[in-house]
């Protein structure tokens, strides 16, 4: 059997652009996996996915016309059930063999083999390998069934039978063609009412021929490019667009660069089959509108690539990715320039209208906007954020910072009532900053209003000043406390209020800005900002939620699970100390004494847990009897005060390393001292000694978590 490469293509109407890449990858991977599972393609077969606005295709290497036969050993039943006392087959065995297509003559060839406690009969046979036409049909059906279709369409097709009629088909878009080529031979498979052939369609307007005839599986991409004017590969089309964008920007000159937006580049790649980048322009008067507004309307509404100058400022030129390549592109350029003009005019109108009212004059209107049916209006929410921001500002900067934070918190949500944010919700906060400057407010307030949503996603920048930092903390804490207080918690992958993101934002603000604030106190202050009857008691649940998010974030940063557990299991409420604690734990773990001390720490913890009642960390030196316990006490007297002083000074690494000197006396203590002595006083004194040691060793982290 000669292996050849396989090409399968579904030709459809325009696919949803935001889902195209995922659809193409899923179609190719499921198809190939099914072929591999049936033995029709090798495990290392190269799989190439193709996806354009009107096609999904897959190329798989080394596909066999027929899978190899496979030896099958099938358990039938225990020997005691299948054979009688004389070794003859029972009716049950004969019935089972008949079901497999065998008769009594097969009994002599049955194998006996142990199966648990009893011996069983096994029937060996050879299963014929799947024919490609059958196996590909199964693979194609599976690939279509498992497509991650965002929304299914239902359409009618004419039935392929003697009696005319129509039947309904459900698919992402109506399908009009199917190609299945094994080498240069058509594989007779069917899908969505279509029968496979060797022709497809090229570009709607610029294909050289119609239909496009495919000679074999390997010529698919080249033939489509030559005869169909289509770049079938999503990745190649994306790279070509990026190349043309860079070339067009260089042609404009002045250090201009197209705006970087990979999601936009993916979407445009999914909209065109033959990209052609053109340079367009709009009137310079529109540059008086904040560039974020112009950029957003060009990207979101028109799928254009705005051009930024060398300083990152928006220019009045932009790039269009056209799907046609006419000899004279002036009509295409002019059409796009005409289309974008009213969009920009709308943005200018919104901006001009919004500035006729101050942000302060909009505060009252927040009381008419529902935030949540259980948490009141945006006006009530604003008052809660103000209360939290005042408390945080007072701790970090006294009256001056608290007053600025209060002003910024009061105005932070007012841009939600502006026309611009109503049209473009993505600009909330950003527009508030512009309008604050127009109202004559300070840069501190303007930046705080603009930045109070930060960090909005992983890797996002933090607020630029302390006022913004305070309001950002207050805003996120209010959201978290409110939602936890009414029981509106994230479940599985569902998190409609982005509570995980808010918690990570709080963690990043506290750690990366090195804020000496207690997390538990922040949560308490946030709960205090709500009416007492509005929320349930969710303090503990919310703190646990924070520590779960902290653990995950630290592991993503490269710390081991043991290192993270050693610190986070202590529930450290001053989060800005956590990085230094982790560094100290990592340095301690590298010491030769670490394994023995970690194991001893774990042993001490278990002893203390099993003791009756609380153990007091007090030792009567005169009651120490054994040389080993005297030596341990003396070593602790020499070591622990210095370790505690280093801990209090914030040098956690030195504090832990100082304790390494206790390894030998700790080992000697467990070798030579019976903790659970018969004398109650002696036992209590030894438990007190261990309690003192346990407390000293676990100030930075729970070292028992390092024990393997």
pLDDT in tens, 108-160: 878 888 887 788 888 887 778 789 999 999 999 999 999 999 888 888 887 66
147, 27 Cβ separation under 8 angstroms: yes
pLDDT of residue 341: 96
pLDDT of residue 160: 61
Bridge partners (DSSP) of residue 60 are: 6, 47
Residue 667 lies in a domain: yes
240, 308 Cβ separation under 8 angstroms: no
- Domain ends where: 197, 227, 257? 227
pLDDT of residue 421: 96
pLDDT in tens, 263-296: 999 999 999 999 999 999 999 999 999 999 999 9
pTM for the full predicted model: 0.82
pLDDT of residue 114: 85
Q: Is 398 exposed, middle or buried (0-12, 13-18, 19+ CB in 10 A)?
A: exposed
CATH number (domain holding residue 619): 1.10.730
Can you tell me the mean pLDDT for 33-46? 94
Can you tell me the mean pLDDT for 454-483? 96
Assess whether 439 and 385 both reside in one domain. Answer: yes
Q: What is the DSSP string of 452-513?
A: TT---STTPPPPSSHHHHHHHHHHHHHHHHHHHHTT---BTTB-TT-HHHHHHHHHHHHHHT
Whole-angstrom distance, CA of residue 458 vs CA of residue 553: 10
Higher pLDDT, 672 or 267: 267
Residue 370, Cα to own-chain centre: how many angstroms?
A: 30
Assess whether 26 and 160 both reside in one domain. Answer: yes
Which residue is it, tokens 């063609």? Answer: 177
Give the 3-state secondary structure of residue 6. Answer: strand
CA atoms 513, 514, 520, 525: torsion sign: negative
Q: Which two tokens stand for residue 414?
A: 């007012």
Residue 614: is its pLDDT beyond 90?
A: no
Can you tell me the mean pLDDT for 44-55? 96
For residue 7, count other CB atoms closer than 10 A to its CB: 25
pLDDT of residue 166: 78
pLDDT band of 492, cuts 50, 70, 90: confident
Assess whether 285 and 317 both reside in one domain. Answer: yes
Which of 363-379 are b and which e, b meaning 16 or more Cβ less than 10 Å from the residue's Cβ? beebeeeebbeebbbbb
Q: Where are the beta strands (DSSP E) in 398-522?
A: none
Within 8 A by CB and 6+ apart from 102, the residues are 123, 125
Residue 647 lies in a domain: yes
pLDDT band of 613, cuts 50, 70, 90: confident
643, 659 Cβ separation under 8 angstroms: yes
Domain that holds residue 86: 71-127
Give the 3-state secondary structure of residue 10. Answer: strand
pLDDT band of 161, cuts 50, 70, 90: low
pLDDT in tens, 403-448: 999 999 999 999 999 999 999 999 999 999 999 999 999 999 999 9
- Domain ends where: 303, 336, 354? 354
> What CA–CA distances, in Å, run from 656 to 588, 596, 703?
6, 14, 10
Q: Which two tokens stand for residue 482?
A: 């409110």
Assess whether 534 and 424 both reside in one domain. Answer: yes
**In what order do the strands lie in the sheet containing 118-127?**
70-78, 118-127, 111-115
pLDDT in tens, 510-543: 999 999 999 999 999 999 999 999 999 999 999 9
Whole-angstrom distance, CA of residue 177 vs CA of residue 396: 67
Dihedral angle over CA of 692, 695, 697, 699, nearest 10: -150
Indicate the average pLDDT of the chain: 93
Provide the phi-psi class of 570: left if phi over 0, else alpha when psi is between -120 and 50, else beta.
alpha
Residue 165: is its pLDDT beyond 70?
A: no
Can you tell me the mean pLDDT for 333-355? 96
Assess whether 54 and 170 both reside in one domain. Answer: yes
Residue 300 lies in a domain: yes
Give the 3-state secondary structure of residue 11. Answer: strand
Assess whether 183 and 245 both reside in one domain. Answer: no
pLDDT in tens, 549-591: 999 999 999 999 999 999 999 999 999 999 999 999 999 999 9
**In what order do the strands lie in the sheet containing 175-182?**
47-52, 55-63, 4-12, 175-182, 185-186
Residue 574 lies in a domain: no
pLDDT of residue 134: 93
For residue 532, count other CB atoms closer than 10 A to its CB: 7
Residue 544: is its pLDDT beyond 90?
A: yes
Q: Which two tokens stand for residue 18?
A: 């935001």
Assess whether 77 and 200 both reside in one domain. Answer: no
Whole-angstrom distance, CA of residue 665 vs CA of residue 683: 19
Residue 563 lies in a domain: no
Residue 572 lies in a domain: no
pLDDT > 90: percent of the chain: 76
Number of H helices, E strands in the chain: 24, 20
Assess whether 493 and 385 both reside in one domain. Answer: yes
200, 32 Cβ separation under 8 angstroms: no
Assess whether 421 and 526 both reside in one domain. Answer: yes
Whole-angstrom distance, CA of residue 170 vs CA of residue 418: 43
CA atoms 608, 609, 610, 615: torsion sign: positive
Residue 569 lies in a domain: no
Number of domains making up the chain: 5
- Domain ends where: 354, 369, 403? 354
Assess whether 152 and 113 both reside in one domain. Answer: no
- Kindly give the interhelix angle for 594-610 and 663-672, rounded to the nearest 10 degrees: 50
Backbone angles phi, psi at 101, to 5 degrees: 85, 15
Bridge partners (DSSP) of residue 186 are: 181
pLDDT in tens, 358-403: 999 999 999 999 999 999 999 999 999 999 999 999 999 999 999 9
Assess whether 164 and 262 both reside in one domain. Answer: no
pLDDT in tens, 300-322: 999 999 999 999 999 999 999 99
Element (H, E) at 278: strand 276-281
pLDDT band of 87, cuts 50, 70, 90: confident
Residue 387 lies in a domain: yes
Assess whether 159 and 61 both reside in one domain. Answer: yes
Q: Which two tokens stand for residue 159?
A: 């039935």
H helices of 214-313, where? 220-227, 234-252, 262-269, 291-302
Whole-angstrom distance, CA of residue 277 vs CA of residue 462: 36
Can you tell me the mean pLDDT for 245-269? 95
3-state helix, strand, coil in the chain (%, to 5): 55, 15, 30
């Amino acid at each position: 059997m000669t292996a050849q490469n396989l090409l399968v293509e579904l030709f459809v109407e325009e696919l949803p652009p935001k889902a195209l890449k995922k659809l193409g990858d899923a179609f190719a991977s499921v198809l190939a996996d099914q072929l591999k599972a049936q033995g029709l393609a090798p495990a290392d077969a190269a799989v190439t996915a193709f996806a354009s606005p009107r096609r999904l295709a897959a190329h798989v290497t080394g596909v066999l016309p027929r899978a190899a036969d496979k030896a099958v050993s099938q358990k039938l039943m225990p020997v005691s059930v299948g054979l009688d006392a004389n070794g003859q087959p029972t009716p049950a065995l004969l019935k089972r063999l008949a079901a497999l297509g065998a008769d009594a003559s097969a009994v002599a060839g049955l194998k006996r083999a142990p199966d648990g406690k009893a011996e069983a009969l096994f029937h060996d046979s050879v299963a014929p390998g799947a024919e490609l036409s059958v196996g590909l049909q199964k693979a194609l059906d599976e690939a279509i069934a498992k497509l991650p279709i965002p929304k299914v369409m239902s359409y009618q097709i004419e039935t392929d039978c003697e009696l005319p009629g129509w039947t309904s088909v459900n698919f992402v878009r109506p399908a009009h063609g199917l190609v299945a080529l094994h080498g240069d031979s058509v594989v007779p498979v069917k899908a969505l009412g279509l029968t496979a052939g060797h022709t497809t369609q090229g570009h709607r307007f610029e294909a050289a021929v119609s239909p496009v005839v495919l000679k074999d599986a390997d010529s698919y991409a080249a033939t489509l490019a030559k005869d169909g004017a289509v770049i079938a590969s999503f990745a190649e089309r994306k790279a070509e667009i990026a190349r043309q964008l860079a070339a067009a920007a260089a042609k404009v000159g002045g250090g201009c660069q197209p705006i970087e937006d990979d999601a936009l580049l993916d979407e445009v790649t999914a909209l065109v089959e033959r990209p052609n980048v053109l340079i367009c322009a709009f009137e310079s008067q529109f540059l008086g509108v904040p560039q974020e507004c112009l950029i957003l309307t060009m990207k979101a509404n028109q799928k254009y690539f705005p051009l930024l100058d060398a300083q990152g400022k928006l220019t009045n030129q932009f790039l269009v990715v056209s799907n046609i390549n006419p000899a004279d592109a002036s009509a295409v350029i002019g059409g796009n320039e005409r289309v974008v003009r009213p969009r920009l005019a709308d943005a200018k109108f919104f901006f001009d209208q919004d500035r006729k009212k101050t942000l302060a004059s909009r505060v009252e209107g927040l009381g008419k906007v529902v935030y949540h049916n259980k948490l009141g209006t945006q006006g009530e929410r604003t008052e809660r954020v103000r209360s939290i921001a005042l408390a945080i500002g007072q701790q970090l900067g006294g009256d001056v910072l608290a007053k600025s934070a209060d002003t910024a918190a009061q105005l932070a949500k007012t841009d939600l009532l502006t026309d611009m944010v109503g049209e473009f919700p993505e600009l909330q906060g950003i527009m508030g900053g512009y309008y604050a400057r127009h109202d004559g407010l300070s840069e501190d307030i303007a930046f705080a209003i603009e930045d109070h949503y930060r960090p909005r996603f992983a890797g996002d920048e933090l607020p630029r000043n302390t006022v913004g930092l305070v309001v950002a903390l207050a805003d996120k804490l209010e959201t978290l406390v409110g939602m936890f207080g009414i029981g509106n918690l994230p479940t599985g992958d569902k998190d409609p209020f982005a509570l995980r993101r808010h918690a990570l934002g709080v963690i990043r603000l506290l750690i990366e800005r090195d804020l000496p604030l207690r997390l538990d106190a922040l949560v308490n202050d946030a709960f205090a900002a709500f009416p007492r009857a509005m929320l349930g008691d969710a303090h503990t649940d919310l703190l646990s939620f924070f520590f779960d998010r902290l653990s995950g974030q630290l592991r993503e940063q490269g710390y081991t699970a043991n290192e993270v557990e050693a610190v986070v299991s202590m529930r450290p409420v001053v989060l800005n100390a956590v990085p230094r604690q982790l560094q100290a734990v990592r340095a301690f773990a590298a010491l030769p004494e670490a394994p023995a001390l970690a194991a001893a720490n774990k042993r001490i913890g278990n002893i203390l847990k099993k003791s009756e009642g609380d153990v007091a960390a007090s030792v009567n030196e005169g009651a120490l009897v054994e040389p080993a316990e005297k030596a341990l006490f003396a070593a602790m007297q020499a070591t622990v005060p210095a370790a505690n002083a280093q801990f209090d000074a914030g040098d956690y690494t030195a504090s832990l390393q100082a304790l390494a000197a206790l390894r030998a006396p700790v080992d000697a203590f467990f070798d030579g001292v019976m903790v659970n002595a018969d004398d109650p006083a002696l036992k209590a004194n030894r438990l007190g000694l261990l309690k003192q040691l346990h407390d000293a060793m676990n100030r930075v982290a729970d070292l028992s978590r390092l024990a393997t």
